[in-house]
Chains A and B, each alone.
Chain A
C-alpha cells in the first residue's frame, strides 16, 4: 500500500516538475509551482517525514508564491 502510493506520487512529482518548467508565462507558472509544492509535501509524507512536510507545505504554497507574485507585479508595472 505504501509502496504503490509512493510510486504514484513519484510519477506525479516528475510530471509536475516537467509541467512547471514547460509553462513559459510566469504568472501561470506560479500557480503550477504552488501545486507542485503540494505534491512534494504529500510525497514527503509518504516517505514518513512529517517535519519536512510541514515546512514544504507552508513554504511552497504560501511564502514562495507571494514573493514571486510581488516580484512579478513590480516588474510588470515598470514594463508599462
Chain B
C-alpha cells in the first residue's frame, strides 16, 4: 500500500473516531463541573479512615491497592523483558571494556557536566528518599520517589562514567533489590490474608495524628517498597541500555 493511500485511509479512520468521540463528549458534564460521587466521598472520608492527609497516595495504596500491585508488576516485567530482549545475537561480542575502563573511542564527558552532576547526586538522593517515605503526608509517594532515586543514579553515570555506575549498582544487587521491593508489596498483602483479613487490608496501627510520618498503617510501608522497586527497575533498564550502547559490538559488516 503506497504512502498516500495509507494517509487517506488514516484520515478517514480518524474522522470516524473523532466523530464518535465528539458524540460522546456531548454527554459529559463540561470541564470544571465534576459531578461524580466517588471523588467527593473519598475526599470526605479518607483522612478520617486512614489518617493519611495525602489522599492520592491513600487511593493508590489502600483504596485501589490491588490496581497498584498490577501496575508494579508491569514495571517488573518490563525490566525483565529489557534484559531478555537485549541479549547478544550470534556474531556479537562484548568489547573488553568494563574491567579496564571503557576504550578510547568513548567520548569523554566535559568537566563542567561531570562536576555539576556530582554536586547534585546527594541532594537528589535525599529528595527521592524523602518522597518515597512521605507518601501519606504531602504530594509524594512511591512512584515519584523511585523515579527521582533512579535519576540520582543517572547523575552518577554522567559524572563518573560507566565504570562508576556499574560499581555502585551491580546487576546482581539491583536485581535483588527490585525483587525485594516487588515481593515486599505482595508479601504485605499476603500477611493480611494470613491474619484473616482481605488481601491488602490496612492492619498496621493507624497512628494518632493524621499526616505524621508514622501514621496511616500499611500505606507508608507499601509506598517505601514501591519506591525501592521502581528505582531498581529503572536503574536496571538504563544500565542495560548503557551496556548495550557502549560495550556490545557486532561483527564488521553484519
Contacts and interface: CB of A to CB of B under 8 A. Distances in A.
A and B in direct contact, judged by CB atoms within 8 A:
yes
29 contacts: A51-B56, A51-B141, A51-B144, A53-B139, A54-B131, A54-B140, A55-B143, A55-B144, A55-B147, A58-B147, A58-B148, A58-B151, A59-B147, A62-B151, A62-B154, A63-B150, A63-B151, A63-B154, A63-B234, A63-B238, A66-B154, A66-B238, A67-B238, A70-B242, A70-B244, A70-B245, A74-B241, A74-B244, A77-B249
Contacts of A66: 154, 238
Q: How large is the interface on A (under 10, 10 to 19, 20 to 34, 35 or more residues)?
A: 10 to 19
B237 interface: yes
Contacts of B242: 70
Contacts of A28: none
Contacts of A51: 56-57, 139-141, 144
Nearest to A3: B32
A59 B237 CA distance: 13
A71 B140 CA distance: 31
Nearest to B230: A55
A5 B56 CA distance: 24
A70 B154 CA distance: 12
Interface in B228-249: 234, 237-238, 241-242, 244-245, 249
